[in-house]
């Protein structure tokens, strides 16, 4: 666990910069980086409260306003959650306001919450050697092991999403089809709880495709039906890629929704 004792202040009264911190970085960004280091190291785990702004200000020898600005940015990025009258907590994918953060497929008749949890059908879960393209995206060697998962997600009995997932084998030792099928909460919440891996951001590539015969059968649509192909690379702290997910979405009853600001 990182030491809570702050480093001595420099001659200007500001805390010294951490190794690798650009000299032009605003002070609140430096504090944000230090808080991120504590999150990455597991000092504060998902669902746990972090120290108060007053305590963090004393720890880092800065004003509460500087800490508040750093915490505000982390909360805006869904890494922390403020709870009125209770404090600030490490966000977890088990929380309602966070669990749909990476699912942009919305039913035409309402929102994700109205559908309830997805029904998961695990078609395959195996450890294998990483193909070259998968290894490159996950920043691992092609000789390293990955866990490959194929599953169908259904809503209200209708198969809606066909997914292929690749996870670094070193971080997900022991992951099984039974575990994936039996866990009732969001998959990312299970990754946090069982493997200590928190997905904090993701990049997606989206294109339209036509279903081939095998995909059409699994999604219960006609061959050549239009599908939305979504490739997602999800990262944990320090921009470390931890999951590659390639999904096919039915769009006859759902649509992809994004909010731009």
What is the pLDDT at residue 255?
A: 83
149-159: pLDDT as tens digits: 999 999 889 99
What is the pLDDT at residue 72?
A: 93
What is the pLDDT at residue 218?
A: 97
Q: Are 207 and 227 contacting, i.e. CB atoms less than 8 angstroms apart?
A: no
Structural domains of the chain in order of their starting residue, each with its CATH number: 27-90 (1.10.10.10), 96-256 (3.40.1410.10)
What is the pLDDT at residue 261?
A: 58
What is the pLDDT at residue 260?
A: 66
Percentage above 70 pLDDT, the chain: 82
Helices (H), 78-130: 96-99, 112-115
What is the pLDDT at residue 137?
A: 97
Q: How sure is the predictor about 12, in pLDDT bands with cuts at 50, 70 and 90?
A: very low
Strands 240-250 and 158-168: antiparallel
What is the pLDDT at residue 104?
A: 67
64-118: pLDDT as tens digits: 999 999 999 998 877 888 988 889 998 877 655 444 455 667 787 766 656 667 8
Averaged confidence pLDDT in the chain: 84
16-43: pLDDT as tens digits: 444 444 456 789 999 999 998 898 888 8
Strands 226-236 and 145-155: unpaired
Rounded CA-CA distance 196/237 in Å is: 11
201-259: pLDDT as tens digits: 899 999 999 999 999 999 999 999 999 999 999 999 888 999 999 999 998 888 887 77
What is the pLDDT at residue 111?
A: 63
Residue 126 clears pLDDT 90, i.e. is over it: yes
**Helix %, strand %, coil % of the chain (to 5):** 30, 30, 40
Q: Which residues contact 259 (CB under 8 A, 6 or more apart)?
A: none
């Amino acid at each position: 666990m990182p030491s809570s004792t702050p480093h001595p202040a420099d001659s200007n009264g500001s805390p010294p910069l951490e190794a690798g911190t650009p000299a032009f970085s605003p002070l609140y960004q430096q504090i944000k980086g230090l808080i991120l280091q504590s999150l990455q190291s597991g000092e504060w785990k998902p669902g746990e409260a972090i120290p108060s702004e007053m305590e963090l200000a004393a720890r880092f020898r800065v004003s509460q306003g500087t800490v508040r600005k750093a915490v505000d940015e982390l909360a805006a990025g869904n890494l922390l959650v403020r709870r009125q009258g209770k404090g600030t907590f490490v966000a977890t994918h088990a929380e309602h306001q966070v669990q749909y953060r990476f699912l942009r497929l919305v039913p035409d008749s309402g929102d994700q919450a109205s559908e309830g949890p997805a029904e998961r059908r695990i078609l395959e879960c195996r450890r294998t050697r990483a193909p070259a393209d998968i290894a490159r995206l996950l920043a691992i060697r092609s000789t390293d092991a990955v866990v490959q998962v194929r599953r169908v997600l259904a809503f209200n009995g209708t198969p809606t999403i066909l997914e292929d997932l690749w996870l670094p084998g070193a971080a997900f030792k022991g992951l099984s089809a039974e575990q994936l099928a039996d866990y009732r909460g969001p998959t990312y919440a299970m990754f946090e709880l069982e493997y200590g891996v928190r997905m904090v951001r993701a990049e997606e590539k989206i294109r339209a495709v036509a279903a081939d015969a095998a995909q059409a059968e699994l999604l219960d649509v006609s061959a050549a039906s239009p599908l939305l192909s979504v490739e997602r690379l999800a990262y944990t702290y320090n921009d470390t890629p931890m999951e590659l997910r390639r999904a096919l979405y039915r769009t006859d009853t759902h649509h992809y929704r994004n909010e731009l600001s």
